[in-house]
Amino acid sequence: MAHTAERAVRRARGRLVAIAAIGTRASGRRHPLVAAAMVLPLAIVLAIAFGAVQAVITQASSVAGMLGH
């Protein structure tokens, strides 16, 4: 029974390592687009939750005003 549990644990760890390795390069670093795809959904949720969308719109309009558009 102990051997079966040990084998299951090793398989589960192998799966977790494989999932964590998605988008990584041979050097061990993730591709920038993969990193952005991982971060953007949370960033959007936090921006909506804390009202940062209005701040971004305000900043963008002031920058557009300075550029003369």
Residues 21, 30: Cα–Cα separation, whole Å: 8
The domain locations on the chain are: 2-67
- Phi then psi for residue 3, to 5 deg, are -65, -35
The pLDDT value recorded for residue 41 is 92
| Cα–Cα distances in angstroms (integers) from residue 6 to residues 2, 9, 12, in the given order | 6, 5, 10
Nearest to 34 by CA among 53, 20, 15: 20
Contact indicator for 30, 23 with CB cutoff of 8 Å = yes
The 10s digit of each residue's pLDDT in 9-66 is 777 777 777 666 666 656 778 788 988 899 999 988 988 888 888 888 899 899 999 9
Model pTM greater than 0.85? no
The pLDDT value recorded for residue 39 is 92
Residue 23, helix vs strand vs coil: coil
